Structure 1
Amino acid sequence: MHVGVAGAGLLGRLLAWQLSARGHQVSVFDPSPDGMSRAPGTAYAAGWTAAGMLSPLAELECADAKVAQYGLRSLDLWQDIVARLPGPVDFRRNGSLLLAHRPDVGAAQRLLDVLRAKAPGEHFPRNLPLQDLRQMEPSIHGPAHAWLLEQEGQIHTVQAMLALAEGATRQGVQWHWGRSVERLGPGIVEAGGTRRFDWVFDVRGLGARPDLPVRGVRGEVFWLHVPGVRLGRPARLLHPRWRVYIVPRPGDQVVVGASEVESEDRSPVSVRTTLALLSAAHSVIPELAEARIVHMESNLRPALPDNLPVIEIQAGLTRINGLFRHGWLIAPAMVEEALSQMPDVGTLRPQKVVA
């Protein structure tokens, strides 16, 4: 089949790589001038900015059981995907931590009750005594309470975005950079001319408007260089006002994030976010006081009105959107589901699969 993909963010790259591996002819259209970098001044995909926490249970705070199931499945899929990609992609699956300061333990317990009520199966946070926390993560000081989520993991998002594009290119995918999609429909993509396909995937995120009621939710993150800090797994501080996480990266780096603002402002990181997130992170790892800010950025997460993802399918066209703050967590499982419902021949009746 000849498949057209509108959008070269995380979903677009996963689709291009998977479809081309199955022998399909794939063409991808994206307005970015170069898919191997984040060009200054451009509205590049949210996948570049994310910290890459694969936290199906912790994210139940703002998701549902279906998202958690997608996330647990995606952890297995990521392990297989990373093993087959060209180039290094840092992927770890040794759990994540929930942390709370003593004055915030009441709010933390309420959140833990929510997670326990929503968690599928027996996947519950395990109380971690402080002496065990010290042995596990010697750089963490300050929080008075800790819980371990043993099923969770992380992925280096930038490395994975590059490797997916490189892997798809080696498999013959045609990338049409600098091409905005003006219109699409079943079997049709208009991007500087009309092109016809056997099947089209619309994974444009915010670019899918007005076909989908998607909005942008601003997020801001920091990359810090922290020589000497030992952190083996993502740590999330259960803060009463902010969702604060610290994610280790190779090369003595950590990513600190992330704000969540109902705004489509793409301007640089605000002073408010800088003070709030970095102060909270410093309260978890005091050594961050001597860290150097390597990089900071803001971007927009694509979200639908209920903040839940959706797959919409009709003959010749599949739309996937609304991954919100769960993109890296659930994208492989959503792609797997979407591809399982794409026939090699024939048509599908219109349907809608809501996560």
Structure 2
Amino acid sequence: MRRATVMGGGVAGLCVATELVARGCEVTVFDPAARPGPHSCSWWAGGMLAPFCEGETAEEPVVRLGKEAADWWAQQGVAVARRGTIVVTLGRDRRELDRFARRTDGHEMLDAAALARLEPDLGGRFDRALHVSAEGHLDPRAALIHLRERLGRAGVAFVAEPGRPDGLTFDCRGLVARDKLPDLRGVKGEMAVLHCPDIRLSRPVRLLHPRFPLYVVPRAGGLFMLGATQIESDDRRPSVRSVLELLSAAYALNPAFGEAELVEIGVDARPAFPDNLPRLRRQGNTIHVNGLFRHGFLLAPSLARMAVEAACDGTKPEFWHEDHD
């Protein structure tokens, strides 16, 4: 049985460990925290599995590989809602919806009546919308906890220490890995969680706006995740301006959000390379899996599969970089 070390217990590290276990490897995961939680960038994710919508600004591989994500998560026993994504815009920004439609695929245009049938609580508020039916979403915190517990039952050892490379190693430490990957940068993202039982949504809603686009992701118990800003910074302090923009956009989507309880404000810095595409970089016996940017839950399954294939089968997959002494 081959032994492997994984450094980092966020979404990338847990996905890599899952792929290694499927290959029959003996795996040890090192992470300073004993369990998934607020220390991890993955904890603050939206959990949207929305490759078509990401195609508005992302490169082709993000769309292509992101289409694998929903099936992968479901195969691991994670609850994946596959009801699509709704995209809307305020009346004064109508051209934003047309621009979005031109830049993306996989959608159909809805009139006001069709939108009201899909999402009654948006009825009468928008005269048209896009429905991207093939997309899905999950609760990222529940997904992380599920993978962690599933791996533990499979015999994976979790050690609450930073760890160090030992034999075959997969470094999935996010921004912490800048000690080995100096071209990583942080992209700050802020989010909020609201409790608003007066609103019911069955799928994520994206509100397009030229300055502060918003997505709202429904979670259980009347909770909604609002995100997310994108600021070139690795500062992890929430800003009043960004939070106000998120809340104002939510109010514009439906004024009932004005009566919601503000449950949580979160912020973290996503690891990204200069081109916003991920990297699989080999340095000796260590394979770095990093640079997932804003696509952690969308791309981690594919990156994990490719990283493990490279280690076990000797392939040179997409995004592969190899450092030579």
TM-score normalised to structure 2 length: 0.92
* Alignment pair present for 1:237 and 2:207: yes
SS of aligned partner of 2:308:
helix
CA RMSD of aligned residues (A): 1.9
| Structure 1 match to 2:129 | 146
Runs of 4+ in 1 over 6 A off after TM superposition: none
* Alignment pair present for 1:107 and 2:96: yes
Residue by residue over 1:28-87, the C-alpha shift from the partner in whole angstroms, topping out at 9 and shown as x without a partner, is 11233x22433xxxxx221110010111011112211111011101122122122xxxxx
Distance 1:180 1:22, change over 3 A: closer
* Alignment pair present for 1:265 and 2:235: yes
Q: How much does 1:302 deviate?
A: 0.6
- Give the Cα separation in 2 of the matches to 1:242 and 1:342: 41
| Structure 2 match to 1:283 | 252
Residue by residue over 1:157-190, the C-alpha shift from the partner in whole angstroms, topping out at 9 and shown as x without a partner, is 0001111111111111111213254xxxxxxx1x
- Give the Cα separation in 2 of the matches to 1:66 and 1:332: 13
| Structure 2 match to 1:128 | 110
| Structure 2 match to 1:184 | none
Check the 8 A contact 1:102/1:145 in 2, yes or no.
no
Candidates 299, 302, 320, aligned match of 1:330: 299
Q: How much does 1:317 deviate?
A: 2.9
Q: How much does 1:293 deviate?
A: 0.9
| Structure 2 match to 1:11 | 12
SS of aligned partner of 1:166:
helix
Q: How much does 1:24 deviate?
A: 1.2
What is the aligned-residue identity percentage?
A: 37
Residue by residue over 1:266-293, the C-alpha shift from the partner in whole angstroms, topping out at 9 and shown as x without a partner, is 12x2211121111111111221111101
Instruction: Report 1:210-249 matches (<5 A).
Output: 210-212=179-181, 213-249=183-219
SS of aligned partner of 2:318:
strand
Candidates 155, 175, 186, aligned match of 1:172: 155
| Structure 1 match to 2:35 | 35
* Alignment pair present for 1:79 and 2:79: no
SS of aligned partner of 2:29:
strand
- Give the Cα separation in 1 of the matches to 2:294 and 2:213: 11
Q: Given residue 35 of structure 1, which amino acid in structure 2 is its aligned partner? A: R
Q: How much does 1:352 deviate?
A: 6.5
Q: How much does 1:314 deviate?
A: 6.3
| Structure 2 match to 1:185 | none
Q: Gaps spanning 5+ residues in structure 1: where?
A: 39-43, 83-88, 116-122, 182-188, 190-195
Q: How many residues align?
A: 317
